Amino acid sequence: MNKEVDLSTFENKDFDSGSAFKRIIWYYVNVLIFKSSLIPLYGLKRSLLRMFGAKISANVVIKPSVNIKYPWKLTIGANSWIGENVWIDNLELVTIGENCCISQGAVLLCGNHDFSTSTFDLIAKPIVLENGVWIGAKSIVSGGVTCFSHSILSIQSAASRDLKAFCIYRGNPAVEIKERKIQ
């Protein structure tokens, strides 16, 4: 019982990716400046993100080879650090608090698809990382997740549910392994 679907009429009215002109200009800025490993200038990167509508606080470090989908849907608090090869696939708002660390190769993934429909409709949900959160290398945070204050997602783990404050999580799916104590 294959039912043909006219994909030309598909449109997700809840999804806003910005104007076509803005997306095209950002595409080239992202490829030439952010995804490049040749340009380590943090101040330039912060300024460019602000020009495209991101809310970027002081002393944010954005390492080389970072991929950001839509800067106009990004907020980063003071003294936060975005490591090499991080992918911020922010189809919805991504809010990163102060003193956060997003380690090398981590992915913040706001989008998914509804497998229960024949058109695989887009599902996009925001991500919130509160102050002091650490996302380990090559870890994934899914859309709709809030990582509460000072939580940690260990290396190569996947968070598809909220992480409690001051707790350390590991695995896929991530499970709480112990309390985080800060001295």
Instruction: Provide the 8-state DSSP code for 119.
Output: T
pLDDT at 134: 98
pLDDT at 18: 72
pLDDT at 39: 84
The CA distance from 88 to 126, in Å, is: 11
pLDDT at 110: 97
pLDDT at 19: 84
Say whether the peptide bond before residue 173 is cis (omega within 30 degrees of 0). Answer: yes
pLDDT at 7: 38
pLDDT at 75: 98
Q: Are 30 and 67 in contact (CB under 8 A)?
A: yes
Q: What number does CATH give the domain 19-179?
A: 2.160.10.10
Please give the model's pTM, rounded to 2 decimal places: 0.88
Tokens at residue 78, please? 């003071």
CA-to-CA separations, 29 to 35, 67, 70, 107, 133, in angstroms, rounded: 9, 11, 11, 20, 28
The CA distance from 7 to 80, in Å, is: 41
Give pLDDT tens digits along the chain (183 positions).
444 444 344 444 455 677 889 999 999 999 999 999 888 899 999 999 999 999 999 999 999 999 999 999 999 999 999 999 999 999 999 999 999 999 999 999 999 999 999 999 999 999 999 999 999 999 999 999 999 999 999 999 999 999 999 999 999 999 999 999 998
Query: Domain extents for the chain?
Result: 19-179
3-state SS class at 25 = helix
pLDDT at 15: 52
Nearest to 128 by CA among 87, 157, 104, 163: 163
